[in-house]
Every structure is written in C-alpha cells, then in structure tokens.
Amino acid sequence: MDERGLKEIYREIGISPEVYDYGERALSGLRARFDAIDRTAEYNQAKVLNAMRKNRVGAEHFAATTGYGYNDAGRDALERVYADVFHTEAALVRPQITCGTHALAVALSANLLPGDELLSPVGAPYDTLEEVIGIRESRCSLKEYGVSYAQADLNPDGSFNYPAIRAAINDKTKLITIQRSKGYAVRPSFSAGQIGELIRFCRSVKPDVKIMVDNCYGEFVEPLEPSDVGADMVVGSLIKNPGGGLAPIGGYICGTAECVGRCAYRLSAPGLGQEVGANLGLLPALYQGFFLAPTVTAGALKGAIFAASLYEPLGFPCVPAAAETRRDIIQAVTLGSPEAMSAFCLGIQSAAPVDSYVTPVPGDMPGYDAPVIMAAGAFVQGSSIELSADGPVRPPYAVYFQGGLTWNHAKTGILLSLQKMIDANLAKLP
C-alpha cells in the first residue's frame, strides 16, 4: 500500500492529509524507541510461554465448570501460570473478581484487621479506592471495620518523600499500598526499580510490614514486575494489560502464599478459599488473553508515546513527557478546558470499532467525586486495554489516554482525536 492509499483511507475515516502528515513526521523519530518496546515484549512473551510450557497447559484445561467448581484443573493451572510469570508463591485469578477496584478491596480487607493501619507512601489513592478505604464515607469501608489510614504525599517533583514516609510508619502500620500508575493525577508513574527502592526503604523502617502494589496498567511494560523487587502482593484487573483484550472479566492477586490464601478466604468464605469458584467457560479467553498480553501491551505503549509526541509540541503538557521512559500504558494530556476534553474524547470514540457514532458526555459514575467523561467503544465494557480516553471534568482538565489492541488502531484514534481538536479550533498544527 502506497502513501496515497493510506491517506485516502484515513480521509474516509475523517483524518485530513495535514494531520496524517504531522503524525508521520512525529513517527519518523520514534523507530528506535518502538524497537526497544518490541524487545521487551519479546522477553515477556517468552516468559509467559515458558510458564505455560512448565505447567503443561493442555486442551483439557479449557473445559468449563459450574457450581462449586471443585477440582477445576484449568483454573488451578492458570493460577500456577500467573504465579510463575510474576515469580510469586501463589496466585488468585478469578472471573468472580469483577474489576481492579474489587481485586484491591479483596487484598486490603483480607490482610488488614481492626486496629491496623494502612499507609499510602505515594499520595492519595485512585478515586475509587477512597470509599474502599473510608477517605470518603461508605458502607463496608475499611474505616467502618476499624482500619485507620495514613498518607505521605509525594514531593512536588513526584519523587518519594522519605522523611515523611519514615514519620508515617508506626506500630499500627500493617500494610503499605503503592499505586504504580498515576491514576487521575498528573504525576509520574513508577517503574519496578523505583518501587523496589521504596519497598527496601519501608522494610528498613519496619521489616515485617506487608507491601501491596496496585499494578494496574503496568503489567508487561518492563521486564520486571513489582513482585520481582519485594512486593508481598501485586494486584490488577484482567480487562487491563494481562487480559490481552480477550478476558471479558476478572482480576488477579499474586503474592506470598499467606497473603493470597487470606485473599481467597475473603473472596469466597473462610474454610473454602481457592477450592471453590467455577470458571464458567471463560478459561480459553483468560489463557489466550494472557498469552497475547505482552504484544497487546507493546502496541498500547507505542500509542501512548505517539500521543505525547503529537500533543506536546502543540503546547499541551503531557505526563509522561514525549521523551520519557514509560512505566505504564497511560498517557495524561492536560487540555485546559472541558471543551477540549470533549473534543479529544469525541475523536477517540469516533475511532472505536464499537459505538463509534456515540458522543461522549460527562456524567456521574460510582466511586468518583466529579463528573467523568469517557470515550470507550470497546468489545468488553470498560476494558482499559482497548482504545479509550477518560478523565474527571475538573482542573487541570486532563484526559487520560490508554490502550489500543493494536498499534495501528491506537495511531488512528490519536490522529482522529487531534483532528477533532483542530476542527473545534482548540488546537493548531505548527
């Protein structure tokens, strides 16, 4: 296919030749970085393949189970695969975990008891965890069950405030939670190496403290995971990176046998734990999605870098900046106004294979304290590894772009978002 043919098909989608050419100029300087991403994906792909070979995954592991799910060989093998990939003693990987917030709530409530204190050394948690913890009042929060909460804010440059963390750790501190990704905050996300440094510091202050990492959006971005650098638990959602776009639901908790065992009791019931929980015929999608996840994540990373490379030169601050190393798949773009957020999200929605004709509008969502605008034409509802963009409509009016099951789809969505910005006189090409 020659350049003229590509421009024509993009024109049919709604992308002008000028926007296409601007994108191609940005791409010309990204080849070396894309090659490095592909090398990481190759390593992670081999890691997943090796775990599946080691655990002798076979066709018999795809059989559906119902009811109690006793003796579910496919479910148990999948959990061994996850444990081997994340280099942990145990794993809990279940479709009964409905989302990332649910996985985190299970992990926290299973490993904290009345009188314990939870500490976040990386500032405020993601919005939906505020009610789980009790920062915002909610029924069945950790606060309601007698668990207190402490927080050490990051330094202004996004680095760890070690003196504040040391002062926050006390006799009641039972569990430390580290959010790897920025969430709805314009701050840097953390690499596995940075998380390892923070873990070592916390353990130097209190050696027996348990440490959990919210790994959402970070899986397979690097060769190492937080579990490789000392985390007792790593937690995430299967409709983000590790599901590879195929998992229709689910979450995972990987970690020590003690921590994961408690999580299994909390998810099901004391005395039942991991023995129950039917797979409901979802195992082929969970296995195949995990197998594809390193490649899908690589495409999403390329899309994030491309987005920053387009928007930053036009005067829109990006976190991370276009030239920065990636630690998760999220690209924050500060647009400065509700109108610009709407235009950006309209472009992403217009590029979706599902519901492309829908206009995103801000609305109230459970777990958030401000209206949220969300563009997501996904095969799986709420799937953040698919092409999407969202953000709370509040200053500084930043939109959080992520995903794309393929790099080419991510590229199309970003170009169309810029086109909608230009059409609305909210951006101008140089």
pLDDT value, residue 365: 78
- For residue 254 the two structure tokens come to 């990987």
**Dihedral sign (CA 67, 69, 71, 74):** positive
Indicate the CATH number of 3-43+291-423 among 1.10.3720.10, 3.90.1170.10, 3.90.1150.60, 3.90.1300.10: 3.90.1150.60
Q: How far apart are CA 54 and CA 52, in angstroms?
A: 5
Residues listed for the chain = 430
Paired strand residues for 237: 251
First-to-final CA distance of the chain: 28
The sign of the torsion formed by the CA atoms of 86, 90, 94, 99 equals negative
Which of 390, 385, 282, 315 lies closest to 346 in space, CA to CA?
390
Domain boundaries, the chain: 3-43+291-423, 63-282
Cα–Cα distance for residue pair 225/39, rounded to 1 Å: 16
pLDDT reported for residue 221: 98
Show pLDDT as tens, one digit a residue, over the chain (430 residues): 678 889 999 999 999 999 999 999 999 999 999 999 999 999 999 999 999 999 999 999 999 999 999 999 999 999 999 999 999 999 999 999 999 999 999 999 999 999 999 999 999 998 889 999 999 999 999 999 999 999 999 999 999 999 999 999 999 999 999 999 987 777 889 999 999 999 999 999 999 999 999 999 999 999 999 999 999 999 999 999 999 999 999 999 999 999 999 999 999 999 999 999 999 999 999 999 999 999 999 999 999 999 999 999 999 999 999 999 999 999 999 999 999 999 999 999 999 999 999 999 999 877 677 899 999 999 999 899 999 999 999 999 999 999 999 999 999 999 999 999 999 999 999 9
Nearest-10 Cα torsion for 3, 9, 12, 17: -20
CATH 3.90.79.10 fits 63-282, yes or no: no
For residues 140 and 293, what is the distance between their CA atoms, to the nearest angstrom?
34
pLDDT at 183: 79
Those residues whose C-beta lies under 8 Å from the C-beta of residue 364, and which sit 6 or more positions away, are 371, 372
Could you tell me the strand order of the sheet in which 251-255 lies?
Answer: 90-94, 251-255, 233-237, 210-214, 173-179, 117-120, 148-151
Q: Note the pLDDT of residue 41.
A: 98
3-state secondary structure the chain: CCHHHHHHHHHHHCCCHHHHHHHHHHHCCCHHHHHHHHHHHHHHHHHHHHHHHHCCCCHHHHCCCCCCCCCCHHHHHHHHHHHHHCCCCEEEEECCCCCHHHHHHHHHHHHCCCCCEEEECCCCCCCCHHHHHCCCCCCCCCCCCCCEEEECCCCCCCCCCHHHHHHHCCCCEEEEEEECCCCCCCCCCCCHHHHHHHHHHHHHHCCCCEEEEECCCCCCCCCCCHHHHCCCEEEEECCCHHHCCCCCCCEEEEECHHHHHHHHHHHCCCCCHHHCCCCCCCHHHHHHHHHHHHHHHHHHHHHHHHHHHHHHHHCCCEECCCCCCCCCCCEEEECCCHHHHHHHHHHHHHCCCCCCCCCCCCECCCCCCCCEEEEECCCCCCCCCCCEEEEECCCCCEEEEECCCCHHHHHHHHHHHHHHHHHCCCCCCC
- Look at phi and psi of residue 23 and say left if phi exceeds 0, alpha if psi is from -120 to 50, else beta: alpha
Single-letter amino acid code for the residue at 259: C
CA–CA dist 201, 195 (Å, integer):
10
Task: Note the pLDDT of residue 134.
Answer: 97
Distance of CA 48 to the CA centre of its chain: 18
Compute the distance between CA of residue 214 and CA of residue 79 in angstroms, rounded to an integer. 18
What pLDDT, on a 0 to 100 scale, did the predictor assign at position 367? 67
Given this model, what pLDDT does residue 1 score?
65
Cross-strand partners of 176? 119, 211
